[in-house]
Structure 1
Amino acid sequence: MSAAATTAGSACSPRTIRVELSANPYPVVIGAGSLARLGEQVAALGFKAGTKVLVVTNPDVDTHYGAAALASLREAGLVAERLVIEAGEDRKTPATVALIHDAAFRQKLERGSLIVALGGGVVGDMAGFAAATWLRGIAVVQVPTTLLAMVDAAIGGKTGVNHPGGKNLIGAFHQPRLVLVDPATLATLPEREFRAGMAEVIKYGVIGDAVLFADLEAAAARQPGAGLASQQAVGAKLLQSLLERSAAAKARVVAADEREGGLRAILNYGHTLGHVVETLRGYGTVLHGEAVAIGMAAAGEIAVAMGLWSRQDQARQLALIAAAGLPHTWPSLDNEAVLACLQGDKKVREGRLRFVLPTAIGAVQIRDDVTADTILSTIAELTPKSASAGPSDPDPHPG
């Protein structure tokens, strides 16, 4: 199946992209100011006045958007309450999900009730997992407020939490009823978080959209020095296009493979080694998007070593990662720990780890024949020779 994009009304109207699943299709609505219409959008899904709604958010997002979300839901006649949780990557644990379950119990959420995830990918993952497991599954609406969540994490139904042995090892597939994207909420997003989100946008260009990749290169070339490292540098027009095209790309893949049985695995490009960086450096030390950028650089280097794609294409990828102010060198990590962490990855099948490797800009393959020697020699090539941090090191504040 495919994802269909439709626009109603004027050019300022929200854009709706459908995730065309056979059993549970849903819309991704993208438009500035759409948060104010959250209640209206939820009511349009069939949730009647009096429905109990739990809004899960974090302190920073709540400060800026919590009251607006609650007001919109209540204006639609919904009985909405909010739960504010600490939601850094290090808090993405079963213990935090238990806090959401506790709030659901206090509010007496029923099977016809709704959880709204208002925040970034961590909030979305945990609130989605709580919805998947409360009363064996109640509805969830994703309202992402970070670029990374808007283009990737909020779409597709993956929910879960981390385990000390690896990222997202505990989870469930639980599709949202709606994804509501308001680009205006990015105005309060720190630049580091914006850059982290650009890693996922670049990913879509590499795995299946050569035109998107070229557009990003052209945008970076128009602003030497500024590149793509901030919302201001990207600009509102290009940002809207990136949101729509990234969401459409994710929707197409999810519609074709809802539960990662085949094609959907390509969305893990950069994530296999990226998760190693996150796990071994400590959750939250390196942002998810920063780790994905490092992982994409490493996957590209592996592909070059295996003769799958050219050094020229790898150079283009590294240049675009750098233009987005993202790291692309390998941090100092113990090799044995790296290999052990890889074997704990949830993508291991019969002891063989699957890598998504690029063959051209816009095309990738899934391979299970990457040797440990190739992995270690590749990350050695990407490790800075100097002990001092360079501009592309995985520093907490790159760019």
Structure 2
Amino acid sequence: MTPARRVHVALGERGYDILIGRGLLDDAEGLCALVPGRHVLVLSDENVAPHYLLKLEAALAGKALRACVLPAGEREKNLGRFAELMSALASLGASRDATVIALGGGVVGDLAGFAAACWMRGVRFVQLPTTLLAMVDSAVGGKTAVDLPEGKNLVGAFHQPAAVLADLATLDTLPPRQLRAGLAEVVKYGAIADAGFFAWLETQAPALLAREPAALAEAVARSCGHKAGIVARDETEQGERMLLNFGHTFGHAIETAQAYGGLLHGEAVAVGMVLAARLSTRLGLAPGADATRLQALLSSFGLPVAVPAGLLPETLLSHMRLDKKAISGRLRLVLWRGVGRAEVFADVAPDAVLAVLVS
């Protein structure tokens, strides 16, 4: 096991560490230390469980453990699956000192976290992310939720994990499409707050796509550092944390319109960031050259940069009105003034949004 990098999320007594390194899931003693109580529920999916579940169960031998393995995909992040987890915790006899462990990507983490937030009004929760997207985004910060047919992440809670272990070795088995989707969220941090990081990414596409360990470790650590700082300053998304949704209002609308069966989350966010940048240019907020630069960077990672065929602009706009950042149906969007300078803008004109959706 290589020495792990450590990023701290400073939330006082509820603060926690993000450990980033290779071989963290091979440290049985470290894994067992994450579960101080007797009862543990592990949630994973059918893609991840065959690789890592037996190793985790062996590390937690002696605990009263139950594992739930779901089919993979965003469609599983629903109220029905949440109810199944509640029943699983009940049948386990899980007490207030129980731990829920998420072993997988963003869907598993969001669902497991929401279950932990609700069981007995909140129990311990540990994130073991196995996708790049989860490592740099969804596993950090305590946002937990399930989707409704009407929109993504509409039912949820803020519930911080006790720890996040990002074992970079799990990325060795990650499908290329999933790796690229995670890189969209990495790009986001440069786009919203760090022009230097953005420029570094422009030089690192070949290394990151080739999964070079040093490049991946740097990308994950810098991304987590940005998110940890933002979460510490604005845990419940009252201000600065909204910037992390750059591209997401457009992206979530695309995912919802495709009934969570089309673009992956990161792919939809890539398209959404391009649309947000174009809208910023249209509104006179940012130079068009920066939008072009963003599109080129995303394209270098093999990510989509255009709205999928067959999606009506009016349909996408209606989904955007239901976004959590909207106020009384008025659009509130994260836009930018160029690379590294994102801001939240209230009451964005729907006609301007439609214009970029049809262009």
Q: In the alignment, is the contact (CA less than 8 A) between 2:2 and 2:23 conserved in 1? A: no
Determine the structure 2 residue equivalent to 1:66. 53
| Counterpart code for 2:53 | G
Unaligned runs of 5+ in 1: 1-10, 382-399
Structure 1 counterpart of 2:10, which letter? E
CA distance in 1, matches of 2:2, 2:68: 32
Match of 2:272 in 1: 295
The answer to whether residue 73 in structure 2 is matched with residue 54 in structure 1 is no
Residue 335, structure 1, aligned to residue 322, structure 2: no
Equivalences for residues 101-250 of structure 1 within 5 A: 101-220=86-205, 223=206, 228=208, 230=209, 232=210, 234-250=211-227
Distance 2:171 2:275 in 1: 29
Separation in 1, partners of 2:336, 2:114: 31
What SS does structure 2 have at the residue aligned with 1:355? strand
Q: TM-score, normalised by structure 1?
A: 0.87
Shift of the 360–295 alpha-carbon distance from structure 1 to 2, 3 Å rule, reads: same
Cα displacement string for residues 310-353 of structure 1 (whole angstroms, at most 9, x for unaligned residues): 11111110000000100001223223212211111111123322
The Cα offsets for residues 151-175 of structure 1, whole Å up to 9 and x where unpaired, read as 0000000001001100000100000
Aligned alpha-carbon RMSD (Å) = 1.5
Structure 1: 4+ residue segments shifted above 3 A:
none
- In 2: Cα distance, 1:23 partner to 1:370 partner: 39
1:85 is aligned to 70
Structure 2 unmatched runs, 5+ = none
Q: How does 1:337-356 map to 2 (within 5 A)?
A: 337-356=315-334
Q: Paired residue for 1:397?
A: none
C-alpha distance 38-294 of structure 1, shift in aligned 2 (>3 A)? farther
Instruction: Give 1:304-315 correspondences, 5 Å limit.
Output: 304-315=281-292
Alpha-carbon distance between aligned partners in 2 of 1:288 and 1:13, rounded to the nearest angstrom: 31
Match of 1:251 in 2: 228
How many residue pairs get matched?
A: 358
Q: What is the SS of the residue equivalent to 1:128?
A: helix
Q: In the alignment, which of 229, 235, 257 is matched to residue 280 of structure 1? A: 257
Deviations 1:355-384 (A, max 9, x none): 111112111110013211111111222xxx
Looking at structure 2, the residues matched to 193 and 365 of structure 1 have their Cα atoms a distance apart, in angstroms, of 28
Hey, what's the Cα distance between the residues in 1 that align with 2:31 and 2:227? 22
Instruction: For 2:302, give the aligned amino acid.
Output: G
**Does the 8 Å contact 1:40/1:73 carry over to 2?**
no
Contact 1:38–1:180 (CA<8 Å) still a contact in 2?
no
Q: 1:155·1:247 contact (CA, 8 Å) conserved in 2?
A: yes
Establish whether residue 366 from structure 1 lines up as the match of residue 349 from structure 2.
no
Output the CA distance in 2 between the equivalents of 1:182 and 1:295: 28
Q: 1:117-150 deviations in whole A, cap 9, x for unaligned? A: 0000000000000111111111100000000000
Aligned counterparts of 2:162 and 2:335: Cα–Cα separation in 1:
32
Given the superposition, is the C-alpha separation of residues 174 and 42 from structure 1 closer, same or farther in structure 2, using an over 3 Å criterion? farther
Letter in 1 for 2:187: I
TM-score, normalised to structure 2, is 0.96
Q: Is the 8 A contact 2:31 2:59 kept in 1?
A: no
Please report how far the alpha carbon of residue 38 of structure 1 lies from its aligned counterpart in structure 2 after TM superposition. Answer: 5.4
- Distance, in Å, in 1 between the alignment partners of 2:112 and 2:92 is 15
